[in-house]
Amino acid sequence: MHRIDSSTAQADKFGEGKNGFTGGNPQTGELPTALDADYFDSVQEEICGVIEAAGIALDKTQRNQLLTALPLLFLSRANPFADIAADGAAAIATSLANLGLGDIVLAGVCSGVFGNPGRILIPAIIGGAKQTLIFQWGNIGNGGSGSAGTATLGTTFPNGALGGVLTSYDTTSGGNCVTRTSLSNSSISALFKDLTINYPFTPVRLLTANYFVWGY
């Protein structure tokens, strides 16, 4: 593109080096600006280049092709990112990668249940592969007597249980102790001892503990 530079252009009309047009002045003998082929070629190719860059074929019967082309070349401010979404999955993935959000979006969002029992599933990308870290909690008891107690987990760990802890609670003076005896992908088992009675401390009352386990 260039500003008019024919011999009859009005020099520096819009500032130094920024020529413009003049209609001339018959009284002073000033000639109107001559429009040469160079200038028209420049204007034509600048406008046509925008239209064709938008994938639109030039059509001499249309008067709105430049206006049609511009929204295709720029993101919409009226409906942000709708343009990218309309371009499909590949365009979305590229955009997220350019923003450094690819892995975060691939991982997804947390899910779970807040309650007792409860759980939370935390997605993550580990070594380029999607994994889900799972925390679960709830109560475990001995059923009213005896030492053994087992609780079924709300969600089975799809790959493996990594660890777990137990915390006993008891309002009776002397209390009790609890030990984890097994942990599988779907359950946790515990051994209860009633410290309010004599050895071997085998409970004859309900004993309860909280469990907290994690896996993936």
- Largest Cα span, the chain: 126
Q: Which residue has the tokens 């679960």?
A: 136
Same domain? 194 vs 116: yes
Residue 159 lies in a domain: yes
How buried is residue 3: exposed, middle or buried, by Cβ count under 10 Å (0-12/13-18/19+)?
middle
Distance, in Å, from the CA atom of 74 to the CA atom of 83, rounded to the nearest integer, reads 9
pLDDT of residue 11: 95
Does residue 104 carry a pLDDT above 80? no
Instruction: Name 133's Cβ contacts closer than 8 Å, sequence gap at least 6.
Output: 121, 122, 123, 124, 214, 216
For the range 126-134, what are the long-range contacts, defined as Cβ-Cβ under 8 Å and sequence gap of 24 or more? 130/106, 131/159, 131/216, 132/158, 132/216, 133/214, 133/216, 134/214, 134/215, 134/216
pLDDT of residue 101: 77
Residue 202 lies in a domain: yes
Same domain? 67 vs 115: no
CB 119 within 8 A of CB 155: yes
Same domain? 130 vs 178: yes
Q: Which residue has the higher pLDDT, 71 or 58?
A: 58
Distance, in Å, from the CA atom of 119 to the CA atom of 110, rounded to the nearest integer, reads 11
Count of structural domains within the chain:
2
Same domain? 138 vs 203: yes
Same domain? 121 vs 174: yes
pLDDT digits (tens, 9 = 90+) for 13-61: 999 999 999 999 999 999 999 999 999 999 999 999 999 999 999 999 9
CATH number of 207's domain: 2.60.40.3940
First and final CA of the chain: distance in angstroms?
61
Same domain? 112 vs 210: yes
Same domain? 44 vs 117: no
Instruction: Note if the pTM is more than 0.75.
Output: no
Residue 175 lies in a domain: yes
Neighbours of 121 (CB within 10 A): 17
Q: Which residue has the tokens 């992908």?
A: 185
Mean pLDDT of 110-123: 95
Tell me the three state secondary structure of residue 70. helix
Range of the domain at 45: 37-75
Same domain? 133 vs 202: yes
pLDDT digits (tens, 9 = 90+) for 128-142: 788 999 999 999 999
The last residue of a domain, from among 53, 75, 97? 75
For the range 110-116, what are the long-range contacts, defined as Cβ-Cβ under 8 Å and sequence gap of 24 or more? 113/154
Same domain? 141 vs 188: yes
The last residue of a domain, from among 51, 75, 99? 75
Residue 4 lies in a domain: no
Residue 199 lies in a domain: yes
pLDDT of residue 81: 83
Same domain? 65 vs 117: no
Q: Which has the closest alpha carbon to 44: 73, 7, 1? A: 1
pLDDT digits (tens, 9 = 90+) for 80-101: 888 888 889 898 888 888 887 7
Residue 151 lies in a domain: yes
Q: Which residue has the higher pLDDT, 118 or 101?
A: 118
Does residue 155 carry a pLDDT above 90? yes
